């Protein structure tokens, strides 16, 4: 590896030759303020807050886009730099909606933090402001351009990481705006509702569509029996909203908090993840043995499903017909649970706690309901649940651990790893291997499909039949994989795709972390550790060992993949236009 020697604020450092000055400074534990920069996503030098002085240079340089050089002498903390950064920050504020106390990102806003750090207490530049425009027509995401600071982090995420291009930059100078083509709403764009733009946004210009009021109303309605289910990734992320370290598993406290909020029953989406493996695994075996459409591709991620329907409709026949786990559980709550409890399904209100904004859109799909009722009535993100817990005065960190309710609350280790990229694939392989071979796995860990590499490949031997599998996370990586299949470069039998980079643990509804934290900590890795830790601690680690799932088939569904199971647990997909 080629390296260069340089000096930053009098500190001699040796760094790789392909580093930027910003990266070199961070290597030396020197913090340079940034706003438009987001590691591995956006490096454009637009905000001019990361300015540094380079000896011999005639002007200040943006450190995020300036390459290092042998013998460079850099200064990051001079009076000239402090004044320039403060002035640039004040110019950004001059065209910003400064209603901070009522902003959804108050106390978690990178712009607000920088104002405090750089001592911006007054507004030196008052004048014209961009006309406010709030786009709230999407089922999942709200855009407020009065808060937009034109950092373009959302644009880079949507275009470069997710390969969607629902939003972009138009006009120039003061008239520059970020939005959809022809000023259309997100609802009329190819947006897949993944919410990765929300995670990228440093301010409150993007946020999820609020469902808190609807859930409180249901909880306060004596005629409603309100049932809640949290997704696997929720237990690996919720703790961050209460100051716990990233990667802390809070399953027991999560259940306790939901019961204290007043939900009548607390079931577990992990149960439905195990159920998904039973249905999806059977579907895969059927396609392998009866000549079905291959490769079969997972259908757990609604963002991925909409992406496929919009950009790769030729692959719709490849999608598993299984509903996503929370939709399966919603359907069972309004059928199996309602029958067992002798409750009219019309009086049951189902709430899903999801790490995903696309689930809000998914819950409204006409295909995901029965008898005029949607399987899931409301979807809350992890952030929304945290707000409810805080507003209820619940001391989350000190809560005792409590257990999910019986009937639809048991889960195995295979169910919990659904929240990490590769988890659905691994869970499926644990069951399919034992069903096909009739042998018990000595080691259930399929490490070959774990990790955060964009596309992972493996080959599994099922009694002499070689099954080629692949895992992709983020729709940008999914595009690369599907293009290789279309071009005949690759061939597989089974593929897992998650719409969000890293899988559900970094879904659009998870806690938002700053660019500074992103620079040093990878949430894809840290949050996944919590799920794999829970998997390791489970007595049962294979979906087909779930006792409650077995009982469900015996008492209610009948055959796996049978008529009743197919009616309640499976769906279909539609080709969509990009605009």
Active-site residue flag, 283: yes
β-strands 494-498, 465-473 pairing: parallel
Q: What are phi and psi of 434, to 5 degrees?
A: -70, -35
- Output the six-digit token pair for 313: 């409709």
Place of tokens 């199996």: 336
C-alpha–C-alpha distance, residues 403 and 405, integer Å: 6
Closest CA to 383 of 202, 528, 234: 234
Active-site residue flag, 259: no
Active-site residue flag, 201: no
Active-site residue flag, 224: no
- Among 103, 109, 151, 504, the one annotated catalytic: 504
The per-residue b/e assignment along 199-214, b for 16 or more CB within 10 angstroms, e otherwise, is bbbbbbbbbbbbbeee
362: preceding bond cis by omega (within 30 degrees): no
Active-site residue flag, 300: yes
Active-site residue flag, 189: no
- Among 53, 110, 240, 283, the one annotated catalytic: 283
- Output the six-digit token pair for 78: 């001079």
* Residues forming a β-bridge with 462: 465
C-alpha–C-alpha distance, residues 24 and 26, integer Å: 5
The per-residue b/e assignment along 334-350, b for 16 or more CB within 10 angstroms, e otherwise, is bbbbbeeeebebeebbb
Active-site residue flag, 359: yes
β-strands 141-144, 206-208 pairing: antiparallel
In angstroms, the first-to-last Cα distance of the chain is 47
Rg of the chain over all Cα atoms, to the nearest angstrom: 25
Where does residue 177 rank: exposed (0-12), middle (13-18), buried (19+ CB within 10 A)? middle
Active-site residue flag, 90: no
Contact 37, 22 (CB under 8 A): yes
- Among 147, 253, 259, 359, the one annotated catalytic: 359
- Among 208, 279, 362, 434, the one annotated catalytic: 362
- Among 280, 309, 384, 434, the one annotated catalytic: 280
Q: What are phi and psi of 11, to 5 degrees?
A: -100, 125
- Among 339, 367, 453, 459, the one annotated catalytic: 367
Question: How far from chain centre, in Å, is Cα 22?
Answer: 27
Angle subtended at Cα 35 by Cα 30 and Cα 38, rounded to the nearest 5 degrees: 80
* Residues forming a β-bridge with 297: 319, 495
- Output the six-digit token pair for 107: 């106390």
- Among 64, 109, 201, 300, the one annotated catalytic: 300
- Among 189, 249, 320, 352, the one annotated catalytic: 320
Residues with catalytic annotation? 280, 283, 300, 320, 359, 362, 367, 504
């Amino acid at each position: 590896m080629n390296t260069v020697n340089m000096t930053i604020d009098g500190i001699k450092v040796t760094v790789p030759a392909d580093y930027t000055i910003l990266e070199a400074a961070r290597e030396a534990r020197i913090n340079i303020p940034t706003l438009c920069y987001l590691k591995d996503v956006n490096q454009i030098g637009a905000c001019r807050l990361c300015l540094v002085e380079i000896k011999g240079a005639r002007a200040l340089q943006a450190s995020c886009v300036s390459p290092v050089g042998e013998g460079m002498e850099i200064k990051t903390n001079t009076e000239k730099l402090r004044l320039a950064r403060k002035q640039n920050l004040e110019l950004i504020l001059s065209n910003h909606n400064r209603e901070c106390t009522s902003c959804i990102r108050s106390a978690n806003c990178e712009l607000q933090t920088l104002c405090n750090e750089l001592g911006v207490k007054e507004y030196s530049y008052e004048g014209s402001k961009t006309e406010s425009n709030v786009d709230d027509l999407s089922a999942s995401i709200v855009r407020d351009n009065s808060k937009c600071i034109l950092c373009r982090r959302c644009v880079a995420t949507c275009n470069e990481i997710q390969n969607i291009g629902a939003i972009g930059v138009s006009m120039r100078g003061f008239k520059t705006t970020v939005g959809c083509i022809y000023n259309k709403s997100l609802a009329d764009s190819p947006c897949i509702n993944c919410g990765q733009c929300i995670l990228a946004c440093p301010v409150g210009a993007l946020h999820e569509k609020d469902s808190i009021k609807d859930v409180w109303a249901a909880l306060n309605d004596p005629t409603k029996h309100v049932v809640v289910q949290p997704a696997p990734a929720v237990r690996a992320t919720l703790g961050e909203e209460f100051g716990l370290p990233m990667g802390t598993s809070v399953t027991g406290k999560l259940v306790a908090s939901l019961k204290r909020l007043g939900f009548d029953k607390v079931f577990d989406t992990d149960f439905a993840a195990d159920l998904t493996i039973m249905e999806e695994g059977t579907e895969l075996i059927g396609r392998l043995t009866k000549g079905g459409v291959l490769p079969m591709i997972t259908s757990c991620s609604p963002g991925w499903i909409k992406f496929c329907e919009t950009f790769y409709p030729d692959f719709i026949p490849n999608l598993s017909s299984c509903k996503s786990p929370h939709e399966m559980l919603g359907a069972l709550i309004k059928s199996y649970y309602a029958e067992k409890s002798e409750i009219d399904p019309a009086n049951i209100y189902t709430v899903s706690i999801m790490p995903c904004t696309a689930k809000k859109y998914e819950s409204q799909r006409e295909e995901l309901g029965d008898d005029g009722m949607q399987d899931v009535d409301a979807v809350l993100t992890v952030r929304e649940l945290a707000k409810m817990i805080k507003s209820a005065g619940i001391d989350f960190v000190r809560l005792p651990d409590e257990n999910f309710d019986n009937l639809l609350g048991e889960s195995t280790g295979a169910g919990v790893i659904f929240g990490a990229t590769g988890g659905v694939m691994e869970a499926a392989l644990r069951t399919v291997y034992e069903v096909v071979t009739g042998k018990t796995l000595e080691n259930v860990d399929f490490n070959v499909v774990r990790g955060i590499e964009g596309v992972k490949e493996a080959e599994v031997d099922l009694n002499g039949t070689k099954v080629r599998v692949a895992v992709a996370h983020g729709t940008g990586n999914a595009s690369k994989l599907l293009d290789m299949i279309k071009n005949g470069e690759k061939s597989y039998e089974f593929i897992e795709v998650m719409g969000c980079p890293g899988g559900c643990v970094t879904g659009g509804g998870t806690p938002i972390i700053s660019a500074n934290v992103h620079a040093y900590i990878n949430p894809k890795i840290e949050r996944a550790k919590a799920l794999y830790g829970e998997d390791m601690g489970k007595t049962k680690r294979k979906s087909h060992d779930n006792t409650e799932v077995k009982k469900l088939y015996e008492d209610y569904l009948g055959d796996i993949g049978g008529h009743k199971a197919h009616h309640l647990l499976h769906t279909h997909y539609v080709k969509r236009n990009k605009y």
